[in-house]
Amino acid sequence: MIFKNQLTDYKFYILLFLIPLLICGISYGLIFIFFFISRRFSPALLTQNVEGKKILVTGASSGLGKSTAKILAQHGANVILVARGKDSDANGKSRLDYAVEEIKACARDPENQIIEGFKLDLKDREKIFLDIPSLLTKYNGIDWVILSHGFSSPGEIFNQSIQDAEATIAGKETIMENLINSNLLGSIRITESLFSACQKLKIDFPERIIYVASVLANVTFTGYIGYCASKFGLRGFVDGLRNELISSKTKVHLYLPGNMDTPMFENENKIKPACTFEIEGASVALPPDEC
């Protein structure tokens, strides 16, 4: 009887040692899997192996697009910066011109890297379908495309519907049309013009296309109905595109950032409805360089 009790105690102490060991093993395993997955999808990977790549970045005159273009140029990529390039200042320069100068100044090898601006309004259908083939011919194809253009105009539907009714009667573009036209159709047009031109010119499709949507492509938010519609639509388009290209060499990505400290965010804060501020609370906007 005494012997049996001693044996039970012996097993108990082994279990006491083995169970924590097992828990530690499982925890380390999970940490390793999480680390492996997060490394695979880390945004920092975007800067690896970009040297010499020809990368077209839309929305590159400001905010996230400009920061992305800068980081890519610092890592040796050739960057073609796309924006409207309107509103020149007293020196006759637009913010796209200034962005090109700034990015050239910090490129790894400015003498040999292509850092050029390309003026294109993504609402201008005809110009997109005419200009993209010339651009592909000029650079003999594009390796990556990053679509970071965008616009937001927060407001409640009660007010915006009145403004939109007046705009429609005056024959002007409404707020809702502007949002869909810039954020959703702008991205669709670029994609279609690239694919049609690549086929016509017998040039390889881009290796990667990265679409910038927003967390508001997943959840709706008071004050952002039109913006959400444009970004939900973009998510649908990108998911569909990814399915169609699953067996091709082109990788399709969708980026869903939260608040970023950019001119767009600054402008939003000037016109956001009070209830949007209330729901949002003390939210943090990250610098675009860190996104």
Q: Give the three-class secondary structure for 82.
A: strand
User: What's the closest the beta carbon of residue 168 comes to ligand NAP, in angstroms?
Assistant: 20
| Pairing outcome for strands 78-83 and 54-58 | parallel
Among 69, 96, 179, 185, binds ligand NAP (CB under 6 A): 96
Binding-residue total with ligand NAP (CB under 6 A): 32
Using rule CB under 6 A, residue 103 touches ligand NAP: no
Nearer to ligand NAP, 133 or 257 (CB): 257
Looking at the Cβ atoms of 188 and 203, the one nearer to ligand NAP is 188
Distance between CA atoms of residues 131 and 39, nearest Å: 37
Q: Give residues 208-227 in contact with ligand NAP (rule: CB under 6 A).
A: 212, 214
Using CB under 6 A as the binding rule, the residues of this chain from 142 to 181 that contact ligand NAP are 148-151
Q: Which stretch binds ligand NAP (CB under 6 A): 7-15, 19-27, 55-63, 135-143?
A: 55-63
Site for ligand NAP in 185-204 (CB under 6 A): 186
Q: Measured between alpha carbons, how far is 120 from 99 in angstroms, rounded to an integer?
A: 15
Q: Rounded CA gap, 156 and 274, in Å?
A: 10
Contacts of 107 by beta carbon, 8 Å cutoff, 6+ apart: 73, 74, 76, 79, 113, 115
Q: Counting contacts by CB under 6 A, is residue 95 touching ligand NAP?
A: yes
Interface segment toward ligand NAP; rule CB under 6 A; list 41-49, 121-129, 135-143, 191-199: 121-129
- Work out whether 63 is an interface residue with ligand NAP (CB under 6 A): yes
Q: Which stretch binds ligand NAP (CB under 6 A): 37-45, 138-146, 238-246, 259-267?
A: 259-267
Q: Residue from 46, 54, 56, 59 that binds ligand NAP (CB under 6 A)?
A: 59
Q: Please, what is the minimum distance in Å from the beta carbon of residue 32 to ligand NAP?
A: 31
Closest distance between ligand NAP and the C-beta of residue 263, in Å? 4
CB of 193 to ligand NAP, least distance (A): 13
- Does residue 259 bind ligand NAP (CB under 6 A)? yes
Cα gap 70→74, rounded to integer Å? 6
Residues 264-283 contacting ligand NAP, CB under 6 A: 264-265
Asked if residue 154 lies in contact with residue 90, where contact means CB atoms within 8 angstroms, the answer is no
> Rg for the chain (alpha carbons), in Å?
25
H helices present in the chain, as ranges: 2-41, 63-74, 95-106, 125-139, 157-169, 175-179, 186-201, 225-244, 263-271, 274-280
- Whether residue 79 contacts residue 100, with contact meaning beta carbons closer than 8 Å, is answered with no
Distances (CA, A) of 20 to 14, 17, 27, 34, 98: 11, 6, 10, 21, 59
Q: How far is the CB of 90 from ligand NAP (least distance, A)?
A: 17
Helix (H, G, I), strand (E, B) or coil at 26: helix
Residue 122 makes contact with ligand NAP by CB under 6 A:
yes
Site of tokens 């998510």: 235
Give the residues lining the site for ligand NAP (CB under 6 A).
Answer: 58-65, 83-84, 95-96, 121-123, 148-151, 182, 186, 212, 214, 257, 259-260, 262-265, 285, 288
